[in-house]
Amino acid sequence: MSTAVRVRALTKSFGPRTVLSGLDLDIAPGEFVALIGESGCGKTTLLRLLAGLDTPDGGDLEAPPERMVVFQEHRLLPWRRVWQNVAVGLPREAAARALTEVGLAGHLDAWPVTLSGGEAQRVALARALVREPRLLLLDEPFAALDALTRIKMHALVRQLVAAHRPAVLLVTHDVDEAILLADRVVALRSGRLAAEHRVDFGGERSRRNPAFDELRHRLLAELGVAELAETR
């Protein structure tokens, strides 16, 4: 497959509520796509379809079977130690390597209840990446974290994705997060992709770069909230 994800004319309704109505999306191998859109527009619905957790009503959807999801909540099993959560069916050494990569080499034998929110999400990332997925689906994985932890997680995700090169779909409310992490940002509105932007700055990818602010403003305008965002 020359694309990791290929979606055509995808439709999904819940009872009378049409959530996705003819959505097209391609994600190339190793590409990082961020999906933004207002609450309830169908972001998680699309992610669940790509994860195989739900079935579409119509259209075509191709996604690799080697796919892993990280949710907003860590979903660790409380009765398994950290390494056992990461390495279900794999040797302890595989978990140790993955946990070292996320900075938790010292927590292999810890119980999930003893972890901070940020640490638990690191374990969730290790659990996903230890399987070397071709597609990594991230559903607001940092939304419940405090701002400082989120900054650290952004840096970690950039590092992990550069090392493992999965295709990534990140669902987020956070336009800044989308621009900081993704190769391409797509906006979902009225059941379809309403806009897309390649994040292709000359120079560093940071809030200090004027191109960052320019793209941020365009995305907020496309989501219909630019003026509200400017007048806080």
Ligand X SMILES: Nc1ncnc2c1ncn2[C@@H]1O[C@H](COP(=O)(O)OP(=O)(O)OP(=O)(O)O)[C@@H](O)[C@H]1O
- Residues of this chain that interact with ligand X (CB under 6 A) are 14, 17, 19, 37, 39-45, 173
Residue 44 beta carbon to ligand X: minimum distance, rounded to whole angstroms: 3
Nearer to ligand X, 45 or 85 (CB): 45
Nearer to ligand X, 19 or 126 (CB): 19
Nearer to ligand X, 51 or 160 (CB): 51
Residue 81 beta carbon to ligand X: minimum distance, rounded to whole angstroms: 31
Q: DSSP secondary-structure letter at 31?
A: -
Residue 118 beta carbon to ligand X: minimum distance, rounded to whole angstroms: 21
Tokens of residue 120, six digits: 């638990």
Residue 28 beta carbon to ligand X: minimum distance, rounded to whole angstroms: 23
Residue 168 beta carbon to ligand X: minimum distance, rounded to whole angstroms: 17
Q: DSSP secondary-structure letter at 200?
A: -
- Number of Cβ within a 10 Å radius of residue 31: 18
The sheet with strand 167-171 has its strands ordered as 67-70, 135-139, 167-171, 32-36, 184-189, 192-198
Nearer to ligand X, 17 or 232 (CB): 17
Alpha-carbon separation of residue 7 from 26, 73, 172, 183 (angstroms): 6, 27, 19, 18
What radius of gyration do the chain's Cα atoms show? 18
Nearer to ligand X, 3 or 72 (CB): 72
The CA distance from 29 to 26, in Å, is 10
CA-closest candidate to residue 136, choices 62, 30, 208: 30
